[in-house]
Structures are given as C-alpha cells and as structure tokens.
Amino acid sequence: MAWWLFVRGMESTQVDITQALTLVVKGPGRHRVVHHFLTERELAEFALGLEEGLVEAGWRLEGFEAERRTGADRRRQPRIPSDRRIR
C-alpha cells in the first residue's frame, strides 16, 4: 500500500493505492473517488497522469509513503537454524 498527500492552500487530497489494484482519491473535502484496475501497469499509468494533473492544477506534493517490501512475508517462512555449523 502507498499514499501521496497533495495540498493547495488550505485544501488537501490524498491518493491511496491498495494491494487490490485499487486507487482511492480522498479530497478535497469530503470528495472521494475509487478507481479499480485490471493490471499494475494500468494503475501506474493512471496514477502518473493523476499526479501530473494535480501538479498542473496548482497542487503540491506534501508527503508520501510507499510500501517497499516485496515477495512473501518472511515471518511466515520456516526458520533456518542460526548456527551455521549445523548442516
């Protein structure tokens, strides 16, 4: 999951991307729009166009957080003995 926060004056708009190929635009105010995509590429192209449109309309990026982890959750994988002498 990732999010970007854009501000313009006293207004804010947050863009959230979920793991389910969904992009949610929250703001300004109570305005909320949900977009669903079939592929990550479609989602990324839309998000890029949205960002460019917001910046052109006078919004500025205030903050963001992007999920950097990829692959399987290691906490659920079987542990390998930490003592390397055991093999």
Q: For 54-70, what is each residue's pLDDT tens digit?
A: 999 999 999 988 865 55
CATH 1.10.472 matches 2-68: no
Structural domain spans, the chain: 2-68
What pLDDT, in 10s, does the model give residues 1-40? 899 999 999 999 999 998 789 999 999 999 999 999 999 9
Asked if residue 68 lies in contact with residue 2, where contact means CB atoms within 8 angstroms, the answer is no
What pLDDT, in 10s, does the model give residues 41-51? 999 999 999 99
Please state, in angstroms and rounded to a whole number, the distance separating the CA atoms of residues 70 and 62: 25
80 confidence band (pLDDT: 50, 70, 90): low
Asked if residue 52 lies in contact with residue 43, where contact means CB atoms within 8 angstroms, the answer is no
Q: Which helix (H) or strand (E) holds 35?
A: strand 32-36
Please state, in angstroms and rounded to a whole number, the distance separating the CA atoms of residues 56 and 79: 50
pLDDT at 84: 59
Asked if residue 15 lies in contact with residue 47, where contact means CB atoms within 8 angstroms, the answer is yes
Angle at 63 between CA 59 and CA 65, to 5 degrees: 130
